[in-house]
Amino acid sequence: MNEFGLKKKIRRSAELNIAPMMDMVFILLIFFIVTTSFTRETGVDVSKPKAASAQTLVKANILIGVTKEGSIHINEGQVSLNVLGSILKRYMAESPERPVIIVADRGAPVANVVDILDECNLAKVKKVSLSAERE
């Protein structure tokens, strides 16, 4: 009470509660993580040939890219033919039923694709496919 007999009002400082806003940010973050589609690529840009009988395959596969210049790429990195063979053998030791897909440019040398097929046979890959776009 002050000298006039009136009650003195206590002033509170203004607060901003950000807890509900943080909850919404985390909910949006979880939503975007769950709805994002993750695709695996070979790491090189190739122009695939077209085929009328092209089919969509399962996602658990090994992608090998061959560029127009004939360089070989796996797991977004360029490798030699010998290194490719050892990588394929390691993958086949982990899961022998895993398919291999060769994503070759339409201008890639056929000899390089044949060499990759040979390395797949030496690594005992059971299913090898060539990637193509549907007409």
pLDDT in tens, 11-68: 777 778 888 889 999 999 988 888 776 655 555 666 666 666 666 655 578 888 888 8
Lookup: tokens for 119: 């390395």
Largest CA distance in the chain: 103
Indicate whether 35 belongs to any domain.
no
Indicate whether 63 belongs to any domain.
yes
CA distance 96 to 129: 15
| Total of domains in the chain | 1
Average pLDDT over residues 113-132: 89
Indicate whether 66 belongs to any domain.
yes
Indicate whether 100 belongs to any domain.
yes
Give tens-digit pLDDT for 23-37.
Answer: 999 999 988 888 776
Q: What CATH number does the domain containing 98 carry?
A: 3.30.420.270
Indicate whether 101 belongs to any domain.
yes
CA distance 65 to 116: 10
pTM for this model (two decimals):
0.58
Indicate whether 37 belongs to any domain.
no
Indicate whether 26 belongs to any domain.
no
Structural domain containing residue 130? 50-134
In terms of Cα–Cα distance, which of 89, 119, 86, 90 is closest to 102? 119
Q: How many helices and strands in the chain, by DSSP H and E?
A: 3, 7
Indicate whether 44 belongs to any domain.
no
Give tens-digit pLDDT for 82-117.
Answer: 899 999 999 889 888 888 888 888 888 889 889 999
